[in-house]
């Protein structure tokens, strides 16, 4: 008989949330103090997901002005469809 794995309890979730918030706090403090955060994959100068490259956004705006579709525009510019949709909504 196969036992089902138990989902984390609210106590365990609270501990996980606390550890995550502590790590984010340490990263924000290091960023404020040093101007960068040392990570295992290099040095980061900002927290969060990186923004799309400016040249790709410019290409997408050019295609948007021509009236290209979202999927075609995203594939041609090398961006995700969500990014192109946000760009489209911002220009309207």
Domain extent listing, the chain? 10-44, 54-91
DSSP character for 44?
A: E
Question: Element (H or E) spanning 37, and its range?
Answer: strand 37-39
pTM: 0.53
Helix residue spans in the chain (DSSP H): 10-34, 54-66, 70-77, 81-91
pLDDT value for 50 = 77
> For all residues of the chain together, what is the average pLDDT?
85
Residue of 29, 87, 32 whose CA lies nearest to 56? 87
Residue spans of the chain under pLDDT 50: none
């Amino acid at each position: 008989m196969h036992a089902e794995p138990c989902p984390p309890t609210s106590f365990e979730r609270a501990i996980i949330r606390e550890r995550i918030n502590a790590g984010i706090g340490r990263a924000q403090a290091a960023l404020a103090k040093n101007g960068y955060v040392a990570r295992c994959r290099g040095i980061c100068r900002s927290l969060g997901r990186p923004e799309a490259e400016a040249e790709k956004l410019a290409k997408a705006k050019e295609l948007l002005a021509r009236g290209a579709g979202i999927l075609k525009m995203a594939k041609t510019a090398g961006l995700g469809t969500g990014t192109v949709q946000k760009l489209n909504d911002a220009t309207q």
